[in-house]
C-alpha cells in the first residue's frame, strides 16, 4: 500500500485542454511538494504547500493543499506540450521521522 496515491496514473490530452491531478493519503503531512520529472532526469521541484487549504499558483499551474493536510491537487490550465512529464507529489508524514515518501506518479502527455 502506497502512502501517497496519485490519480490518474496516466493522462493523455490535447494541447489547450485543462487537467487535474490528485494526491491522496490517510496520513497528515506538514507540507507536500510537487515535482515534475522528465525521462532520464531527476525530479524538479515545482512548489511546496504548507498550510491547510493553501492555494498556490505558478503560471498555468494551480496547487491546492487540503484543509486536513492529507491531500493535494494540481490543476493545469491550457496544457502545452512542454508540460509533458511525470508529476510526483511527495512529503514526510507527521511524527514518522525523516523518511520522505513519493506518490505513485502521474504520467502526463500533451499532444500538439
Partner 1 sequence: DTGVSQDPRHKITKRGQNVTFRCDPISEHNRLYWYRQTLGQGPEFLTYFQNEAQLEKSRLLSDRFSAERPKGSFSTLEIQRTEQGDSAMYLCASSLGLTGLAGEGSQETQYFGPGTRLLVL
Q: Which residues bind partner 1 (CB under 8 A)?
A: 4, 6, 29-31, 33, 35, 40-45, 48, 50, 86, 88, 90, 92-105, 107
Q: How far apart are CA 55 and CA 19, in angstroms?
A: 16
* Cell numbers found for residue 54: 493553501
Q: How far is the CB of 20 from partner 1 (least distance, A)?
A: 18
Q: In the complex with partner 1, which residue's Cβ is closer, 5 or 75?
A: 5
* Residue 11 or 90 having the CB closest to partner 1: 90
Least gap, CB of 90 to partner 1 (angstroms): 7
Closest CB 74 distance from partner 1, rounded Å: 14
- Residue 46: name the closest of 56, 35, 38 by CA: 35
Instruction: Provide the grid cell at 101.
Output: 515518501
**Rounded Cα distance, 6 and 33, in Å:** 13
Amino acid at each position: 500500500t502506497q502512502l501517497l496515491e496519485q490519480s490518474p496514473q496516466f493522462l493523455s490530452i490535447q494541447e489547450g485542454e485543462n487537467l487535474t491531478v490528485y494526491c491522496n493519503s490517510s496520513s497528515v503531512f506538514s507540507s507536500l511538494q510537487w515535482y515534475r520529472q522528465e525521462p532520464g532526469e531527476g525530479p524538479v521541484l515545482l512548489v511546496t504547500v504548507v498550510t491547510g487549504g493553501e492555494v498556490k499558483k505558478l503560471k498555468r499551474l494551480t496547487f491546492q493543499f487540503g484543509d486536513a493536510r492529507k491531500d493535494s491537487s494540481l490543476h493545469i490550465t491550457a496544457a502545452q506540450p512542454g508540460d509533458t512529464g511525470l508529476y510526483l507529489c511527495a512529503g514526510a508524514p507527521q511524527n514518522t521521522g525523516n523518511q520522505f515518501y513519493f506518490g505513485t506518479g502521474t504520467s502526463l502527455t500533451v499532444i500538439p
